[in-house]
Amino acid sequence: MTRELFWLTLTVILTGLLWVPYVLNRCQVRGLSGAMANPSRNDKPHAEWATRLMFAHDNAVENLVIFAPLVLILAQLDYSTKWTVLACAVYFWARLAHLIVYTLGLPVFRTLAFAVGFLAQAVLALAIFQLL
């Protein structure tokens, strides 16, 4: 496994686990049967942090759709540099930071973490065309 694929794997695992805390909050707020029922407009709302975590999860999934193919293309091309490895590591940590600051409700830091992740993706895209 390349180092880029290692960071992709960690990012996939992180993204795959993000639902757990807000579903636990849903169980706490609505009870187990309410959490397993079909959604309704009359449902008790999640805690504010859980709602923000849901949005962070959606954003993580949306960005994984961009990050994962970039890493897989690099793996298929058998192209790896210190910059592509660094970009993948930075992406993972930026996504983790995004998750934390989004859940805590820190909008400016959320935007900065997102931007860092975007720049990491740009580095990977440039590397695919071997411009880096």
Give residues with Cβ within 8 angstroms of 34, minimum separation 6.
Answer: 26, 43, 44
Residue (of 130, 127, 63, 56) closest to 98 by Cα position? 56
Residue (of 65, 66, 112) closest to 93 by Cα position? 112
Q: What is the pLDDT of residues 20-71, one digit of tens each?
A: 999 999 999 999 998 999 988 988 899 999 999 999 999 999 999 999 999 9
Q: What is the pLDDT of residue 14?
A: 98
Break the chain into its structural domains and give their ranges. 3-16+48-128
Q: What is the pTM of this model?
A: 0.93
Q: Give me the DSSP letters along the chain.
A: --HHHHHHHHHHHHHHHTHHHHHHHHHHHHHHHHHHSPP-TTSPPPPHHHHHHHHHHHHHHHHHHHHHHHHHHHHHHT---HHHHHHHHHHHHHHHHHHHHHHHT-HHHHHHHHHHHHHHHHHHHHHHTT--
